[in-house]
Amino acid sequence: MNATSQALFKRPNRPARLGAKTARRPPRALAEPAAVMAGTALVGVQAMRLGRWIVDDAAITYAYTRSIDEGYGPVQQAGAPPVEGYSNPAWLALLVAGRRLRLFDHGALFGVPDLVWFPKLLALLCVVGMLAAVAAAARAALPGRAWAVTLLAGMAMAGNFSLVAWLFSGLENPLYGLATTVLAAVLVRGVARDDLLDLPRPRTAVAAGLLALLAALTRPDGVVYAAAYPLTLLLLLRCSHSAGAFRSAALSTAAFAVPYAAHLLWRHAEFGRWIPNTAVAKAQRMPGSAAVAHIGELVSFAGWALVLAAVVCTGLALRRPGPPRRALVAVLVPLSLALAAYGTLERDWMDLYRFATPVWTLGAFAGSLAAVTVRDRERPRVRVVLTSALLAGIVLSLAGQRHRAEEFRAHPTVPMCFIADRYGRLFNSYADRLGLPDAVLLLPDLGGTLLTSRLRLVDLAGLTDPAIADAYAADDMPRLRTYVFDRVRPTFIHVHTPWSTVSGLTPPVLTAHGYVPLSTQADTGDWVRRRAVPDPGRLTALQRTTLPAITHLTHLRTTSPHRSCGPRLTPTP
């Protein structure tokens, strides 16, 4: 260790290690792995209550996985132009590797499709990684108490249904949570081992930069974690060592920025954009006062009593100097960045705070570390009061989440299988019965449709269509409608609220442009361009049978939202 780091961080006194290997008892050696496995089991049991549900947005990445692995490149369908209709290249790379190994998108195992079990298995492994990272960090900061910190963190994660639901949704959330949690653990270990600023061996600086890179390649807002290491240095730095800290911060930033810049250059060369097309379509605005309200919603969901108790524990843990205090600061830095990133994002239409995963994982890490620190260092009376407050907060939090968790389990957000059947397979049958093998379908629900449709698809939500994304970004709906009716001229159109209202593709507008309903109710319906149908008799016959088919699929969505829809989703009959 160099003189700079010795002066910057004072190593705590440690007991003599004579005979440490013989003195260590087997139960103590097994305590941390047991805590990791117990926490993972608790999370897994909660996840099992979601059944085989996969959210439809995840299937968009699945479709890109298929295209890339089959040699078509980053396209939504074979023959489509390259568009970055995904925002999670690191997660996409994992799925491509799984497909190449024939573990994903090839069939079923014991009756469970690999589109379900493989991403859920990855999620469970990521949970193991998160808790193992917490254990490694706690071992450095609180020797002998790492098992308690890990077990508490696992319990906190399992008790947060928002976290569990989105970890096991098929989206990139587990990898994002893993990247941010391991980043916090690396910072904690760097502080506890006094090598946060060890320039001859800059492991912590480089590791922090690479983990921030992983976060940024998993979700666009993950770029904020590039600031985690420099901010930690700034908070724990002595002014006399600013030159060394500057060099370390520059090294960490370079470890992040150089490969990330290469990725941006590739993105612009491949897609003609500096940001994902998905970000353009969502029309992200500059953050305003609503950011505070967004964060307040998270506090309300977790429970004000529990959050207040955790804040008090954190304040008490920060009051006394020492390794636990510095370790807690190292966790609070990425947690603060996670809260800032969440607050800047546009409000998500999906339920249960899909973008809050790193807030929940880092909050569980920080809260558990603070609680165990206070338990070990405060007077018995203070420990009793805070333990009681935490237990009461946990009970109130679980009670407060219960209704929303039950509602989500009963009606989970847009199941992939419903979309695959309702829009992929059903519109295939429309095209077959009308004799339209080369039909084009415009619709806003894309994931399962991409996996099962034989038609050429156009995304009304704009995630995979740059022209529509640009229209949303400019808030120019006349431009969108001109593009749809004059350039795309889709054979079929499906619209439902809010997309019919937002885009202006209402029944009167569709009728005026030559579309007739196959089925319609208010602003929701399936439409076909009359002039594209070669046989009007077929159209009349189809209109008589459409509503029963739609009613049946809608009933299945209500009664069996966790069901499978076949061992493999493909466009073949």
Condensed to tens digits (0 to 9), the pLDDT of residues 105-145 reads 999 999 999 999 999 999 999 999 999 999 999 999 998 89
Same domain, 319 and 427: no
18 assigned to some structural domain: no
Q: Of 180, 188, 189, 184, give the one whose Cα is nearest residue 213.
A: 180
Residue 567 has pLDDT above 80, yes or no: yes
427 contacts 444 by C-beta, under 8 angstroms:
no
pLDDT value for 322: 84
What pLDDT score was predicted for residue 4? 42
Q: How far is CA 222 from CA 168, 177, 225, in A?
A: 19, 10, 6
Q: Check: CB of residue 229 under 8 Å from CB of residue 257.
A: no
| 28 located within any domain | no
Task: Give Cβ neighbours of residue 23 (< 8 Å, ≥ 6 apart).
Answer: none
pTM for the full predicted model = 0.91
Same domain flag for 441 and 295 = no
What's the Cα-to-Cα distance from 337 to each of 204, 222, 259, 341, 344, rounded to whole Å? 19, 9, 21, 6, 11
Q: Tell me, yes or no, whether 372 and 424 share the same domain.
A: no
Per the structure block, which two tokens stand in for 377? Answer: 């260092």
Is residue 117 in a domain? yes
Q: Do residues 83 and 465 lie in contact, with contact meaning Cβ atoms separated by under 8 Å? A: yes
Domain co-membership, 406 together with 439 = no
Task: Categorize the per-residue pLDDT at 40 as very low, low, confident or very high, splitting at 50, 70 and 90.
Answer: very high
- CB neighbour class for 477 (10 Å; exposed up to 12, middle 13-18, buried from 19): middle
Lowest mean pLDDT among 31-35, 78-82, 195-199, 289-293: 289-293
Total domains in the fold of the chain: 2
* Tokens 């955790």 sit on residue: 310
Looking at the DSSP bridge assignments, the partners of residue 493 are 442, 527
- Structural domain includes residue 572: no
Torsion, CA 421, CA 522, CA 437, CA 565, rounded to 10: 0
Both tokens assigned to 193: 């081992």
Q: Which of 369, 392, 410 is the last residue of a domain?
A: 410
The per-residue b/e assignment along 16-26, b for 16 or more CB within 10 angstroms, e otherwise, is: eeeeeeeeeee
Residue 468 lies in a domain: yes
In a domain, 311, yes or no: yes
Name the least confident of 61-75, 208-222, 491-505, 548-562: 548-562
Per-residue pLDDT band at 259 (split at 50, 70, 90): very high
Residue 25 is assigned to a structural domain of this protein: no
Phi, psi of 104 (to 5 degrees): -140, 135
- Binning pLDDT at 50, 70 and 90, where does residue 200 land? low
Calpha distance 543→559 (Å, rounded): 26
Helix (H) or strand (E) run with residue 187 in it: helix 173-192
- Please indicate, yes or no, whether residues 498 and 358 belong to a single structural domain of this protein: no
The CA radius of gyration of the chain, in Å to the nearest whole number, is 26
Asked if 430 and 294 sit in the same domain, the reply is no
Of 365, 385, 410, which closes a domain? 410
For residues 264 and 151, state if they share a domain: yes
d(CA 59, CA 447): 4
Whether residue 208 contacts residue 183, with contact meaning beta carbons closer than 8 Å, is answered with: yes
Q: How confident is the model at residue 288 (pLDDT cuts 50, 70, 90)?
A: low
Q: 212 Cβ partners below 8 Å, 6+ apart? A: 183, 222, 223, 225, 226, 228, 229, 252, 256
What's the distance, CA 406 to chain centroid?
21
Is the confidence at residue 377, as pLDDT, over 90?
A: no
Cα–Cα nearest to 135, from 46, 35, 27: 35
User: d(Cα 370, Cα 88) in Å, to the nearest integer?
Assistant: 32
Interacting residues of 293 by C-beta distance below 8 A, sequence separation 6+ = none
- The amino acid present at 14, given as its one-letter code, is R
| CA dist., res. 509 & res. 489, Å (int) | 14
343 and 486, same domain (yes or no): no
Taking every pair of Cα atoms in the chain, the longest distance, rounded to a whole number of angstroms, is 91
3-class DSSP state of 413 = coil
Which pLDDT belongs to residue 247?
Answer: 86
- pLDDT higher than 60, residue 3: no
SS3 108: strand
Q: Domain ends where: 363, 378, 410?
A: 410
* CB-based contacts of 86-89 (< 8 A; 24+ apart in sequence): 86/60, 86/61, 86/276, 86/278, 87/219, 87/220, 87/276, 87/278, 87/279, 88/61, 88/171, 88/172, 88/175, 88/217, 88/218, 88/219, 89/217, 89/218, 89/263
Residue 201 clears pLDDT 80, i.e. is over it: no
Average pLDDT value for the chain: 90
124 or 12, which is more confident? Answer: 124
Rounded to whole angstroms, the Cα distance separating 160 from 147 reads 20
Q: Kindly state whether residues 278 and 327 are assigned to the same domain.
A: yes
Residue 69 lies in a domain: yes
Average pLDDT over residues 462-466: 96
CA gap 51, 72 in Å, rounded: 32
- Domain of 469, in residue numbers: 416-559
Q: State whether 283 and 262 are in the same domain.
A: yes
Phi, psi for 488 (deg, rounded to 5): -75, -45
Question: Closest by alpha carbon to 134, among 190, 183, 172, 195?
Answer: 183
Q: Does the structure show a pLDDT above 80 at 25?
A: no
> How, if at all, do strands 112-113 and 108-109 pair?
antiparallel
Verify that 379 and 472 share a domain, yes or no: no
Burial annotation 102-128 (CB, 10 A radius, 16+ → b, else e): ebbbbeeeeeebbbbbbbbebbbebbb
Q: Whose CA is closest to 76, among 60, 58, 89?
A: 60
Is 455 within 8 Å of 441 (Cβ atoms)?
yes
Q: Do 73 and 207 have their domain in common?
A: yes
Angle of the 228-236 helix axis to the 242-271 helix axis, nearest 10: 170
